[in-house]
Amino acid sequence: MGPIVVTGGAGFIGANFVRTAFARTDARVVVFDKLTYAGNVESLAEVAASPRYAFVQGDIADREAVRALLRAERPTAVVNFAAETHVDRSIDDPASFVRTNVTGAFELLEAARLHLREHPSDAFRFLHVSTDEVYGTLGATGAFSESTPYAPNSPYAASKAGADHLVRAYHETYKLPALLTNCSNNYGPYQFPEKLIPLMILNAVEGRKLPIYGDGGNVRDWLYVEDHCEGILLTLQKGAPGAKYNIGGGNERTNLQVVDALCASLEAELPAARNAALAKAGLRSYAELKSFVPDRPGHDRRYAIDASKIRAELGWSPRHAFEAGLRETVRWYLANKPWCEAVQSGKYRRERLGLTS
């Protein structure tokens, strides 16, 4: 495999994908990242010294920067993780989501189209990583399939839906060899602590409240990030141009169940009796930190992914059961306090610790 350009490669899923690509291919990997609040070069430290790695700071919505990158690297693949992702932020500032998620995706697609026109290649692939949130919300039963109609309910989801449609259009109109994946909620190492699981871990360790939206009954399908990245790489290597794959862990949990499982995992790894922050607050268990807060606008009730297509066509399946992946995640955050402190310093806004994913 030739050079791979990974946009948003310093973010949570992108950085985990870079490590997967290093472990499972011999490709040169070029990370292109704007380094906003959620992008951290510290997440790439273990591969930074490799001659197969390069980092370029830039914005996917910057036309000249993107086109210069492709001219310089002449990649055989572009994998786009770059996105604004947090629903709460999209409610406060929808314009930045449209700029990055829609305009940025367009600039990448157009640059890839021009790159292929100048350097034709049957091997080239453009893979866009999206979310299950584009499908809207589910009732008590059923799951999202690749043919589920789009019905986004937040500015974030709408901006990702717009990008998905552009990817499809570029394949249909220009025959760009594009692929699309839609994933369920990811968790695991290197996730920025505004999202539910890392937020709850760090809050609990510090003896802070564990804020849960509404009644805690919102359901998500949880996918360990390493399993997701293996599915993305498999799609890049074996997926047919124009194909779309849903990637889900098959681990439906309410937010309240996730928080309860986290409290149990923390108790096993760092017993509450040994946590000075809890003792100072006069608490004897992590569960005592749970706090219900008003629900956010447009909060989808339930997501679930039907991943039968990628299982049948590409042979992918997740390797981590939810409880096992959660234990690994808790252990990682407890063992990597320097990384947590690095992302919490400077750009990390402490006042947002009261929000969940």
250, pLDDT greater than 70: yes
Domain that holds residue 233: 4-190+223-251+301-319
Mean pLDDT of the chain: 93
Cα gap 323→326, rounded to integer Å: 5
Q: At 131, list the tokens.
A: 């979310």
Q: E strands along 140-264, which residues?
A: 178-183, 185-187, 210-213, 219-224, 244-247, 252-254
Whether residue 97 lies inside any domain: the answer is: yes
Whether residue 154 lies inside any domain: the answer is: yes
Q: Domains in the chain: how many in total?
A: 1
Give the pLDDT mean for 9-14: 96
Decide if 223 contacts 184 (C-beta within 8 A).
Answer: yes
Three-class SS of residue 140? coil
What is the pLDDT at residue 209? 96
Using one digit for the tens of pLDDT, what is the confidence trace for 189-214?
Answer: 999 888 899 999 999 999 999 999 99
Whether residue 351 lies inside any domain: the answer is: no
Whether residue 296 lies inside any domain: the answer is: no
Whether residue 26 lies inside any domain: the answer is: yes
Which residues, including other chains, have CB under 8 Å from residue 290's CB and lie 6 or more apart?
A: 209, 210, 212, 259, 263
Whether residue 270 lies inside any domain: the answer is: no
What is the pLDDT at residue 346? 46
Whether residue 242 lies inside any domain: the answer is: yes
Q: Which residues pair with 7 in a beta bridge?
A: 32, 80
Whether residue 290 lies inside any domain: the answer is: no
**Positions marked catalytic:** 132-133, 156
Give the pLDDT mean for 170-190: 97
What is the pLDDT at residue 345? 64
What is the pLDDT at residue 344? 64
Cα gap 272→256, rounded to integer Å: 19
Backbone phi, then psi, for 285, in 5-degree steps?
-150, 155
Using one digit for the tens of pLDDT, what is the confidence trace for 211-240?
Answer: 999 999 999 999 999 999 999 999 999 999
Helices (H), 25-154: 63-73, 87-92, 94-97, 104-118
Using one digit for the tens of pLDDT, what is the confidence trace for 58-93?
Answer: 999 999 999 999 999 999 999 999 999 878 888 989
What is the pLDDT at residue 1? 75
pLDDT band per the 50, 70, 90 thresholds, residue 42? confident
Cα gap 278→289, rounded to integer Å: 9
331, pLDDT greater than 60: yes
Q: At 291, list the tokens.
A: 């706090």
Mark 9-26 as b/e (b = at least 16 C-beta within 10 Å). bbbbbbbbbbbbbbeeee
**CATH number of the domain where residue 144 is located:** 3.40.50.720
Distance of CA 339 to the CA centre of its chain: 18
Question: Percent of the chain scored above 90 by pLDDT?
Answer: 86
Give the pLDDT mean for 174-193: 96
Give the pLDDT mean for 322-336: 95
